[in-house]
Each structure stands twice: as structure tokens, then as C-alpha cells.
């Protein structure tokens, strides 16, 4: 959810935080955790990440 919101706000930490009802530092922390798992920054492969997130959401919706 955090990555989807982050990309949806044009990669703006404060807007993402407002959208999710979180503090902007929480968003920074979550993105840092995601980037550690990915092994690169979210911005480096943004298009690939966005596509994967949208596909995952569609598959999840179909299974529900």
C-alpha cells in the first residue's frame, strides 16, 4: 500500500503520509525497508515496480 500511494503522489513523502494517515517519517521508514528487500531504490525501477504492483492488485481482485 505504501509503495502504491508513494507512486500515486509523485513520490512525495508528505503527500503519501497524508493519504495513508501516517507521519512522513513512517513513510520514509517503510520505503527504506522495501528498498532493502528489493536491493535498490524504488526510483531506480519505478516503472517495473508500478507494473508489478498493479498486476498483483488485479490478481488479488480476481481471486476475491
Class of domain 2-63: mainly alpha
Residues 42 and 34 sit within 8 Å (Cβ to Cβ): yes
Query: Quick one: pLDDT at residue 20?
Result: 98
Residues 2 and 34 sit within 8 Å (Cβ to Cβ): yes
pLDDT tens column, 6-59: 999 999 999 999 999 999 999 999 999 999 998 888 888 888 888 888 898 889
How far apart CA 64 and CA 27 sit, in angstroms, is 28
The reported pTM is 0.78
pLDDT band at 2 (very low <50, low <70, confident <90, very high): very high
Query: Quick one: pLDDT at residue 43?
Result: 82
Query: Quick one: pLDDT at residue 1?
Result: 86
Domain spans in the chain, listed from the N-terminal domain onward: 2-63
Amino acid at each position: 500500500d505504501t509503495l502504491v500511494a508513494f507512486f500515486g503522489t509523485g513520490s512525495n513523502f508528505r503527500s503519501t503520509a497524508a493519504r495513508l494517515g501516517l507521519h512522513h517519517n513512517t513513510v520514509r521508514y517503510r520505503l527504506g525497508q522495501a528498498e532493502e528487500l528489493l536491493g535498490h531504490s524504488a526510483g531506480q525501477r519505478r516503472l517495473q515496480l508500478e507494473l508489478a504492483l498493479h498486476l498483483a492488485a488485479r490478481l488479488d481482485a480476481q481471486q476475491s
